[in-house]
Each structure stands twice: as C-alpha cells, then as structure tokens.
Structure 1
Amino acid sequence: MTIFNHPFHLVSLSPWPLLGSLSILNMIFGMVDWFNSFNNTQNIISMITVILICYQWWRDVIRESTWQGLHTLKVFKGLQLGMILFITSELFFFISFFWSFFHMSLSPDMELGLIWPPKGIIFFNPIEIPLLNTMILLLSGFTVTWSHYSLLMQKKEFKTSLLLTCLLGIYFTFIQFYEYKESFFCISDSVFGSTFYIMTGFHGIHVIVGTCFLLVNFFRSLKNHFSNIHHFGFEAAAWYWHFVDVVWLFLYMFVYIIGG
C-alpha cells in the first residue's frame, strides 16, 4: 500500500472520461443526422451509452467517497468550492436572460408598439398557475431543509422529506407543462414570447436536473450512504435546489407580476 504525504486524492486510471467524451461526440453527430434526415437511431444509442457511462463513473466516485474513504477534508473543501463555483456560473447564466428581459421590457421598441407586453399578447394571470408553482417550490425548499436537518440530527424523517421534495419537483414540472399547453402565445410571438419561454424553459430544465439530483440521493439514502458528518452529495443537491427556488422567485416577481 502506498502512503502519500499529502491530503489530496489521486484518482486511479479510469476509462470513463475517454469513453464519455467519445459518446458525447457521437451524440452530437447523431443529433446533426436527426435534424437533417430525421433518423434518430444514432442519437438514441449514444444517449443510452452516455447514461450508462455516467452511472459507472458516478458509481466509482461513490465507492471512493463512501466505502474507501479517499475523500479527505481537503478534497471535501475542494468539492464544496467546485459546487459553489458551478452554482455561480448558473447564476450568471440566468442574469444574462434577466438582462435581456429588462432591456426589452423597460424600453419597448417601436415594433412592439412601445408597450409591454406587446399588443395582442394574452398573458397568464399571476395569481393562478404561476402562484401555485411558486407555492410548490417554496414548499419544496422547506422540505429539503427539513430533510437536511433530519439528517444532521439523525432522525428518521430524512428519507420521507427527501422523497416529498422529489415529488414536489415532479409536480412542478407537470404544472409548468400544463401552463405551456394552455398558453395563448408561443416562442415566436415577438421578443416577449422568446424571452418568456427561454427564461421559464431553462428554469424548467434546471428543475428536472435538480429533481434527478435529489432522486439519486434518495436512492442512495435507501442504501445508507449518508451520515450526519458525511453527506456532501445530498448537501450539493440541496444547494442546487435552493438556487432553483430563488431563481423562480425572481422569475415570478419580474416576469409574471411586473413584466406581465
């Protein structure tokens, strides 16, 4: 056994980075083929291989962390910093959309009739479906905090509250889909439709990703992967979910109430 005089984790040789990059490259070619010839076979196969490679890769990371104990305090701090920087990059991603929204809504162009929303746009009532979605996400923020507290206090409500958060995320996604289905305007209806669907659509994608993130942690909790001092996988998911909640509050306030 080799003993190192440093606290860092030197990862072992792994085929997953190379195979993952090749699968993603193949998926890009498959999407190009799909757009041009409507042949989706290559795209589906490459997506399946990407999912399988991610599963194997993350399985190895879980083994290194949970069973082999290779994630030292220094590694843990690095993972925390990495997640913080990732959420920061996502924050600026949404700031660019809000910048575009404010630029268009605060000073509408002549083509929009100098009004916002443009004439002919029938917008949603902010105290109906949007308010329901806001309540759902606020409740999910409470349940994920409850789940974190239960884990720290070693209470049995951890798994129940985590599952409830996942169900609320799925419920939000279905309500958002219903809102799109009942909409009286589409993404091609002036810059108003473009900014609305881009902002809410990307937020919806983040909700789906966050829900999957929490679901993975729920299944890991069933295998007792977490303790009150070793649970960064869940903590990172909780941070991401709170970020999604905060972004939606700004969307509801500026896009649905003020902008609508």
Structure 2
Amino acid sequence: MSQAQGSYYLPEPSHWPIVGSIGLFTLLAGFAGWLHGGSSLWIIVGAIIVIVMMFGWFGKVISESESGQYNAQVDVSFRMGMAWFIFSEVMFFAAFFGALFYVRQWALPWLDGAGNNAMTGELLWPNFQAAWPLMDVPNPEGFDRPKEVVGAWGVPFYNTIILLTSGLTVTWAHWGLKKNNRTQLITGLFLTVALGALFVALQAWEYGHAYTDLNLKLSSGIYGSTFFMLTGFHGLHVTIGAIMLLVMLLRAIKGHFTAKHHFAFEAAAWYWHFVDVVWLGLFIFVYWL
C-alpha cells in the first residue's frame, strides 16, 4: 500500500506504467503499419489498452486521494507536474505559430525576391508572387487550389464567444466549489462541458464546409497545412479538456472535492483556460489577419 510519512510520499508499485507503454507502442506500431497498407486492428487494440490504462490508473489516484492518503508534498508535486505539462503544451503550439510566422514574414517574401534574395524566386520558383493566404501557385502540380479563405466572422467568431463564455462558466463553478455550493459547481461544470461539445461540433461542421465547399485541404499548400495543423490540434485539445471536465462533473455529482481539497478540478480548469488563450491566438492570426 502507498504510504505518506512526514513530508515524503511513497507510492506503491504499480503495473499501470508498463500497461500504458505496451498500449502506446501497440497503437503507434499499428498506425505505422496502417500507413503502409496494413490492417487497422492493432490501432484499435492499442487504443483500447491505453483507455483501460487511463481508467485504471486515474481511478487508483482518485481512490487514494479521496481516502486521504495524499499530503501537502503530493499536492505540490501534482501542481508542479501540471504546470510543466501546460508549459510543454505552450511550446507545442509555439512551434506551429512560429512556422506560420516564419512563412508569412520571411519565406514568402524571399521567394518573391525581397531583400537580398532577388534570384531566390527565379531559381526556386519562377513567377512566384508573395501573398497571404497563399491561394494559388505557378505550376500547381499536386496543389489543391482553395476557392476562398475561411472567414473569421462566421463559425470562428461564434466559437470564440463560446470558448470565452466557457471560461466564465468554469470559473463560476470554481467559485461555487470554494463556497461549498454544490449546485453552482455542478451547473457550472455542466455548462462548460456543453459549450466545449458545441465548439467541437461547430468546428467539425466548419471542416466539412472547408473541405467540400471551399476545396481547402492539407494538400492546399502552406495555407491549408498550417490551417488544419493549428486548428486541428486545438480542436483535439478542446476535446481532451472537455473530457477532463466531464470527469470532474461526474466526480462532483458523486460528492468529491471540498473547498480546500480539489486540485484535480483546478488542473482541469487550468488546462481549459490554456485552451481558451490558444484559441484567441488562432482566431487573430489564422482567421482574422
């Protein structure tokens, strides 16, 4: 059994790390095989193992937390771990935003002969003209030309309002928890999860519209690839965040968390606010400017 002695917490040996490793290896190996024409069976098997591992491992942590086994040292370690995890996510998105900035500010002008690169365009891409978004190119072999850009003032604007509102509802839920108001906590979490699901549904509709009506695809040059990489990974993070908050909602309904003991809720809220901030950057630099 795990033990908490003084300021040092010693967890009991667990089989879940090796189960997770096996699941991830199976999932990635299956995906690699599928890309080379193999069956998707091992992808499914790996995904099932990972899901079972997550339920088992997180369930174990929850049961230990609710039984009072964790001390202040564990709480600090959880907070540091979540902070570093969010920092790694910030760096993840910074790489994609950096690629977008590099292309728009440097690569396209260079190809058009800007600065001391007068011969760059003639040697690498004759008759190229810098423009953003890049909708057309000379000699467009393998290039799916989009019909138009995805405008900022349709679904993206509505999704901005939805995510900003969800940030308010999760904060309202946190205030309810601090006041021991379970009704406010549960209602706020329910509204946040519902808004997150609505965001993902609207983004899925937007993707269908962009792909079928606007002919915007990953093969639509740098505009298509940066658009789908940034918005797609953000949509994945919204989905993960909504699942995290759904788990918090179910735990709140079961009576978990107190005004002084609720870091799991705080961690999910931190993640959700991070998702909100990233979307503001996406709305400005991908859709608007």
2:190 corresponds, among 163, 178, 197, to 163
The residue number in structure 1 matching 2:141 is: none
Q: Within 2, Cα distance between the matches of 1:31 and 1:50?
A: 14
Relative to structure 1, is the Cα distance of residues 257 and 66 closer, same or farther in structure 2, using a 3 angstrom cutoff? same
User: Secondary structure in 2 aligned to 1:9?
Assistant: strand
Task: Name which structure has the greater RCO, CA cutoff 8 Å, separation 6+.
Answer: 1
- Whether the 8 Å CA contact 1:147–1:161 is kept in 2: the answer is yes
* Partner residue in 2 for 1:236: 267
Higher deviation after alignment, 113-122 or 151-160: 113-122
Q: CA deviation at 1:167?
A: 0.8
Q: How many residues align?
A: 257
| Structure 2 residue 132 is the aligned partner of structure 1 residue 116 | yes
| Larger proportion of helix | 1
CA contact (8 A) 1:163 1:218 kept: yes
Question: What residue is the counterpart of 2:59 in the other structure?
Answer: 59
Do the aligned residues in 2 keep the contact of 1:113 with 1:119 (CA within 8 Å)?
no
Specify every segment of 5 or more residues in structure 2 that has no aligned partner in the other structure, as ranges.
113-124, 137-145
Q: Determine which of 243, 254, 257 is the counterpart of 1:223.
A: 254
Equivalent residue, structure 1, for 2:160: 134
Distance 2:206 2:254 in 1: 37
Contact 2:172/2:185 (<8 A) preserved: yes
Tell which deviates more after alignment, 187-196 or 233-242.
187-196
Q: Does 1:84 align with 2:87?
A: no
TM-score (norm 1): 0.93
Gaps of at least 5 residues in structure 1 are: none
Alpha carbon RMSD of aligned pairs, Å?
1.8
Give the Å deviation of 1:188: 1.1
| Equivalent position SS for 1:251 | helix
| Distance across 2 between alignment mates of 1:8 and 1:35 | 46
Write the letter of the residue equivalent to 1:229.
Answer: K
TM-score, structure 2 as length reference: 0.84
Q: What are the Cα deviations for residues 112-139 of structure 1, in whole angstroms up to 9, with x where unaligned?
A: 6211112444112211111001000001
**What SS does the corresponding residue of 2:10 show, helix, strand or coil?**
coil
Identity %: 39
**Larger Cα Rg: Structure 1 or Structure 2?**
2
State the partner residue of 2:120.
none
Residue 186 of structure 1: aligned partner? 217
Q: What is the identity, as a one-letter code, of the residue corresponding to 1:35?
A: L
Which whole-Å deviations, capped at 9, do the CAs of 1:72-91 have from their partners, x for residues lacking one?
11110111111111111111
> Following TM superposition, by how much is the alpha carbon of 1:251 offset from its aligned partner in structure 2, in angstroms?
0.8
- 2:151 pairs with 113, 125, 134, which one? 125
1:211 maps to 242
DSSP 3-state at the match of 2:9: coil
